[in-house]
C-alpha cells in the first residue's frame, strides 16, 4: 500500500507527497518527524506533515538566502546563521572564500546529528569547515545576549509556529540589528506571501522601524506550494540594492563557484515584486 504524507500548513489547502519508503519516523518533543523517499524530490523531511527540506530542491532556498546578501554586500567576512540545522545554508556560505568566520546557532543538536546521518548531501561536509563555530542555543537568547557583530545575518527559521515563533518578533529583529556591523544586512525566511501574507507584513513593519531599506525578494521553491517564497531584506546601506548584475557576476567569478538557481540576473529580478507582494510589504 502506498503511503502519502499530507501537509496542511495552509487553511483550505492540502498537499500530499507520495512516500515510497519511510526511512525514519519518530516523535520529536510534541511533533511527528518523518523522513521518507519521494520519487520526485528524493529524501524529504517533514515535521507534523510540514515539509522542512528535500534533497532535490533545497539548493534553490539555500542559494537564494545566502548568495543574495553575501554578494550584494561584496566585502562580507563574517556571517551569523540562526537555525539551519540541516547544514544547507552553511554549505553555501562557506563557498565564499572571503568569509573568515561563520557562527551557526541551532537550538537542537539532534537536528544537526540527524541531518549529518540521514541527509548528508545537504551539508556536504560543511560542518567540518574550520571557519565554523556551532553554538547549540536558542537563537532569540543568543541574539539578545551576544556582543559580536556580523556583516550578514541569515535567519533560516521554520514557520512561525511553536519554537520558531519567537524568531518573527519585533524584539528579535531589534536584537538582530544590534548584531549587524555598519553596512550589514539581515535576511529572513518569510514564507509564501500568497498564503502567509500576514507573516511578511509583520516582518516588514518591524524592518521599516529599524532599517533604511526594508523590502523582500522572491524565489520559487517547488515543494513550498502557493507561489514564490519571500525573503526579508533589511539594511541601512541602500547601495546594496543598486549593485549591478555585472558587479555581482564579477564577485561570483572571483569567489570561484557555480550555482544551480542563483544568477546575477535572477538576483536583480528577485526584487521586482508583484503588486500583491508590494501591498503586503507596504501594509
Cell numbers for 133, please give them.
563555530
Q: 171-217 pLDDT, tens per residue?
A: 899 999 999 999 999 999 999 999 999 999 999 999 999 999 999 99
Which band of pLDDT confidence, cut at 50, 70 and 90, is reported for residue 154? very high
Strand partners, 7: 15
The answer on pLDDT for 270 being more than 70 is yes
What are the residue numbers of the active site? Answer: 156
- The separation between CA 171 and the C-alpha centre of its own chain, rounded to angstroms, equals 19
Selection from 45, 17, 44, 20 nearest residue 31 by Cα:
45
Q: Are residues 37 and 88 in the same domain?
A: no
Selection from 107, 8, 115, 105 nearest residue 51 by Cα:
8
d(CA 263, CA 21): 35
Q: Are residues 146 and 26 in the same domain?
A: no
Q: Are residues 193 and 94 in the same domain?
A: yes
Q: What is the CATH number of the domain that holds 41?
A: 2.30.140.10
Q: Are residues 265 and 147 in the same domain?
A: yes
Contact, 39 vs 17, CB < 8 A? no
Three-state SS for the chain is CCEEEEECCCCCCCEEEEECEEEEEEEECCEEEEEEEECCCEEEEEECCEEEEECCCHHHHHHHHHHHHHHHHCCCCEEEEEECCCCHHHHHHCCCCCCCEEEEEECCHHHHHHHHHHCHHHHCCHHHCCCEEEEECCHHHHHHHCCCCEEEEEEECCCCCHHHHHHHCHHHHHHHHHCEEEEEEEEEECCCCCCCHHHHHHHHHHHHHHCCEEEEEEECCCCCCCCCEEEEEEECCCHHHHCCHHHHHHHHHHHCCCCCCCCHHHHHHCCCCCHHHHHHHHC
Q: Are residues 18 and 155 in the same domain?
A: no
Number of domains in the chain: 2
Domain that includes residue 243, residue range: 58-282
Q: What is the CATH number of the domain that holds 89?
A: 3.40.50.150
Q: Are residues 171 and 40 in the same domain?
A: no
Residue 235: its pLDDT value, please? 98
Which band of pLDDT confidence, cut at 50, 70 and 90, is reported for residue 259? very high
Q: Are residues 230 and 155 in the same domain?
A: yes
d(CA 81, CA 26): 27
Q: Are residues 159 and 275 in the same domain?
A: yes
Which band of pLDDT confidence, cut at 50, 70 and 90, is reported for residue 1? low
Residue 48: its pLDDT value, please? 83
Q: Are residues 13 and 134 in the same domain?
A: no
d(CA 254, CA 247): 11
The answer on pLDDT for 30 being more than 90 is no
The answer on pLDDT for 160 being more than 60 is no
Out of 14-23, 161-170, 228-237, least confident range: 161-170
Of 16, 35, 54, which closes a domain? 54
Q: Are residues 140 and 30 in the same domain?
A: no
The answer on pLDDT for 94 being more than 60 is yes
Q: Are residues 25 and 96 in the same domain?
A: no
Using DSSP bridges, classify how beta strands 3-7 and 21-28 pair: parallel, antiparallel or unpaired.
unpaired
Q: 60-86 pLDDT, tens per residue?
A: 999 999 999 999 999 999 999 999 999
Q: Are residues 244 and 142 in the same domain?
A: yes
Of 54, 72, 97, which closes a domain? 54
Of 35, 54, 73, which closes a domain? 54
Amino acid at each position: 500500500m502506498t503511503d502519502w504524507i499530507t501537509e496542511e500548513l495552509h487553511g483550505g489547502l492540502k498537499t500530499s507527497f507520495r512516500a515510497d519508503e519511510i526511512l525514519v519516523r519518530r516523535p520529536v518533543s510534541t511533533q511527528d518527524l518523518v523522513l521518507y523517499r519521494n520519487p520526485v524530490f528524493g529524501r524529504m523531511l517533514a515535521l507534523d506533515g510540514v515539509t522542512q527540506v528535500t534533497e532535490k530542491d533545497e539548493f534553490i532556498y539555500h542559494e537564494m538566502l545566502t548568495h543574495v546578501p553575501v554578494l550584494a554586500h561584496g566585502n562580507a567576512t563574517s556571517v551569523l546563521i540562526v537555525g539551519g540545522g540541516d547544514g544547507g545554508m552553511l554549505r553555501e556560505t562557506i563557498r565564499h572564500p572571503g568569509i573568515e568566520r561563520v557562527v551557526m546557532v541551532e537550538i537542537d543538536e539532534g537536528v544537526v546529528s540527524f541531518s549529518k546521518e540521514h541527509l548528508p548531501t545537504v551539508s556536504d561536509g560543511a560542518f567540518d569547515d574550520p571557519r565554523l563555530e556551532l553554538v547549540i542555543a536558542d537563537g532569540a537568547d543568543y541574539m539578545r545576549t551576544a556582543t559580536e557583530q556580523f556583516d550578514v545575518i541569515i535567519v533560516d527559521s521554520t514557520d512561525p509556529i511553536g519554537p520558531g515563533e519567537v524568531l518573527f518578533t519585533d524584539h528579535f529583529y531589534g536584537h538582530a540589528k544590534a548584531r549587524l556591523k555598519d553596512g550589514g544586512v539581515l535576511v529572513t525566511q518569510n514564507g509564501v506571501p500568497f498564503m502567509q501574507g500576514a507573516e511578511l507584513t509583520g516582518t516588514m513593519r518591524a524592518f521599516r522601524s529599524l532599517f533604511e531599506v526594508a523590502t523582500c525578494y522572491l524565489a520559487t521553491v517547488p515543494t513550498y506550494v502557493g507561489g514564490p517564497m519571500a525573503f526579508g531584506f533589511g539594511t541601512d546601506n541602500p547601495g546594496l540594492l543598486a549593485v549591478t548584475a555585472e558587479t555581482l557576476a564579477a564577485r561570483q567569478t572571483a569567489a570561484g563557484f557555480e550555482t544551480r538557481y542563483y544568477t546575477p540576473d535572477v538576483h536583480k529580478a528577485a526584487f521586482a515584486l508583484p503588486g500583491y507582494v508590494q501591498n503586503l510589504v507596504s501594509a
